[in-house]
Structure 1
Amino acid sequence: MVRSQELPVGTRPVNGDNGMSTGPAMSDSVLHRDLRHHYKNIIESTGVYLIDSEGRRYLDAVGGAAVNIIGHGVSEISDAVAKSPHSTSFVYSAVLTNPWQEELAAKLASITPVEKGKVFFTSGGSEANETAIKLARQYHLDRGVATKWKVISRAASYHGNTLAMLGLSGRPSWASRYSPYIDNNPRIAAAYCYRCPFSMAHPECGIRCAEDLERVILQEGPETVAAFLCEPVSGTSLAGAVPVPGYYEGIQKICRKYDVLFIVDEVLTGYGRTGKAFAIDHWNVRPDILTVGKGLGSGYIPIAACVADGRIVDTIRSVSGQFVHGFTYGGMPMACAVGVKVFDYVTEHNLFGLAAERGKYLRSRLDELAERIPEIGDVRGLGLLQGVEIVADPHSRKPFDPALDVSRRIVREAERRGVLLREGTPGANAGKDGDQIQISPPFIIRPDEIDEVVRVLGEAISAVLDQVG
Structure 2
Amino acid sequence: MGYYTTDNETLNMPGLSGKQFPDTAPQQSSGVLYHQLRREPLTVVGGKGSYLVTDTGLEILDATCGAAVSCLGHSDERVHEAILDQLKKIPYCYSLYFTNTAAENLSKLLVDSTGGIMSRAYIVSSGTEAVEAAVKMAIQYFTELPVPEPQRVKFISRHSSYHGNTLGSLAVGHHASRRRIYESLLSKNISHIPQCYPYRGMKPNETTEEYVTRLAQELEDEFQRLGPNTVAAFVAETMPGATLGCVPPLPGYLKALKAVCKRHGALFILDEVMSGMGRTGTLHAWEQEDVVPDLQTIAKGLGAGYAPIAGLLINKHVVDTLNQGTGAFVHSQTYQGHPVACAAAYRVQQIIQEDNLLPNVREMGIYLGELLHERLDNHPHVGDIRGRGLFWAMELVQDRETKQSYPPSKAVSWTMHTTGLKPEHAISLMPGSGGADGVNGDHIILAPPYNTTQEEIRLIVDRTVRVIQEVLGE
Instruction: Give the TM-score normalised by the residue count of structure 2.
Output: 0.90
| Corresponding residue number in structure 2 for 1:52 | 54
SS of the residue corresponding to residue 387 of structure 1 reads: strand
Shift of 1:197: 6.8
Matched, 1:174 2:178: yes
| Corresponding residue number in structure 2 for 1:362 | 368
Shift of 1:116: 4.3
| Corresponding residue number in structure 1 for 2:67 | 65
Matched, 1:41 2:33: no
| Corresponding residue number in structure 2 for 1:434 | 441
The letter of the residue matching 2:230 is T
Shift of 1:89: 2.1
The letter of the residue matching 1:422 is M
SS of the residue corresponding to residue 186 of structure 1 reads: strand
Separation in 2, partners of 1:114, 1:222: 30
| Corresponding residue number in structure 2 for 1:268 | 274
| Corresponding residue number in structure 1 for 2:144 | 142
Q: Which stretches in structure 1 are left out of the alignment for 5+ residues?
A: 1-25
The letter of the residue matching 1:192 is Y
Please identify, of 377-386 and 398-407, the stretch whose mean Cα deviation from structure 2 is larger: 398-407
Cα 1:239–1:114 shift into 2, 3 Å? farther
Query: 1:420-456 deviations in whole A, cap 9, x for unaligned?
Result: 01111x3211223111011111111221221121112
SS of the residue corresponding to residue 132 of structure 2 reads: helix
Separation in 1, partners of 2:203, 2:160: 15
SS of the residue corresponding to residue 89 of structure 1 reads: coil
Query: 1:128-181 deviations in whole A, cap 9, x for unaligned?
Result: 111111111101011101011111111011101111111111111111011121
Separation in 2, partners of 1:276, 1:135: 26
Separation in 2, partners of 1:41, 1:171: 29
Separation in 2, partners of 1:453, 1:34: 27
Separation in 2, partners of 1:34, 1:351: 36
Separation in 2, partners of 1:285, 1:215: 22
Contact 1:211/1:250 (CA < 8 Å) preserved in 2? no
Shift of 1:34: 1.9
Shift of 1:38: 3.0
Separation in 2, partners of 1:117, 1:376: 43
Shift of 1:257: 0.2
| Corresponding residue number in structure 2 for 1:190 | 195
5 Å-filtered alignment, 1:364-443, equals: 364-416=370-422, 417-424=425-432, 426-443=433-450
| Corresponding residue number in structure 2 for 1:464 | 471
Query: 1:118-137 deviations in whole A, cap 9, x for unaligned?
Result: 11110110001111111111
Matched, 1:337 2:336: no
Shift of 1:228: 0.7
| Corresponding residue number in structure 1 for 2:160 | 156
| Corresponding residue number in structure 2 for 1:239 | 245
The letter of the residue matching 1:59 is L
Query: 1:304-340 deviations in whole A, cap 9, x for unaligned?
Result: 1101111111111211121110100000211111111
Query: 1:38-77 deviations in whole A, cap 9, x for unaligned?
Result: 3111111100000011111000001010001111110010
Separation in 2, partners of 1:200, 1:132: 38
Contact 1:378/1:388 (CA < 8 Å) preserved in 2? yes
Separation in 1, partners of 2:280, 2:116: 18
Separation in 2, partners of 1:344, 1:431: 38
Shift of 1:35: 2.1
The letter of the residue matching 1:53 is D
The letter of the residue matching 1:415 is L
Cα 1:237–1:197 shift into 2, 3 Å? farther
Separation in 2, partners of 1:389, 1:116: 35
The letter of the residue matching 1:136 is A
Please identify, of 190-199 and 221-230, the stretch whose mean Cα deviation from structure 2 is larger: 190-199
Contact 2:176/2:439 (CA < 8 Å) preserved in 1? no
Shift of 1:91: 1.3
Separation in 1, partners of 2:334, 2:206: 48
Matched, 1:454 2:422: no
The letter of the residue matching 1:82 is L
Shift of 1:459: 1.4
| Corresponding residue number in structure 1 for 2:221 | 215
Separation in 2, partners of 1:407, 1:396: 19
The letter of the residue matching 1:435 is D
| Corresponding residue number in structure 1 for 2:327 | 321
| Corresponding residue number in structure 2 for 1:202 | 207
Cα 1:44–1:288 shift into 2, 3 Å? same
| Corresponding residue number in structure 2 for 1:6 | none
Tell me the number of residue pairs that the alignment of Structure 1 and Structure 2 aligns. 441
Contact 1:301/1:335 (CA < 8 Å) preserved in 2? yes
| Corresponding residue number in structure 2 for 1:124 | 126
Contact 2:414/2:431 (CA < 8 Å) preserved in 1? yes
The letter of the residue matching 1:232 is T
Separation in 1, partners of 2:373, 2:37: 36
Match of 1:226 among 226, 232, 245: 232
| Corresponding residue number in structure 2 for 1:74 | 76
Please identify, of 341-350 and 194-203, the stretch whose mean Cα deviation from structure 2 is larger: 194-203
Instruction: Give the TM-score normalised by the residue count of structure 1.
Output: 0.91
Cα 1:298–1:204 shift into 2, 3 Å? closer
The letter of the residue matching 2:165 is N
Separation in 2, partners of 1:173, 1:163: 14
Query: 1:335-359 deviations in whole A, cap 9, x for unaligned?
Result: 1111111111111001111111111
Contact 1:273/1:383 (CA < 8 Å) preserved in 2? yes
Contact 1:370/1:377 (CA < 8 Å) preserved in 2? no
Shift of 1:463: 1.4
Aligned CA RMSD, in angstroms, stands at 1.6
The letter of the residue matching 1:452 is L
Percent identity reads: 34
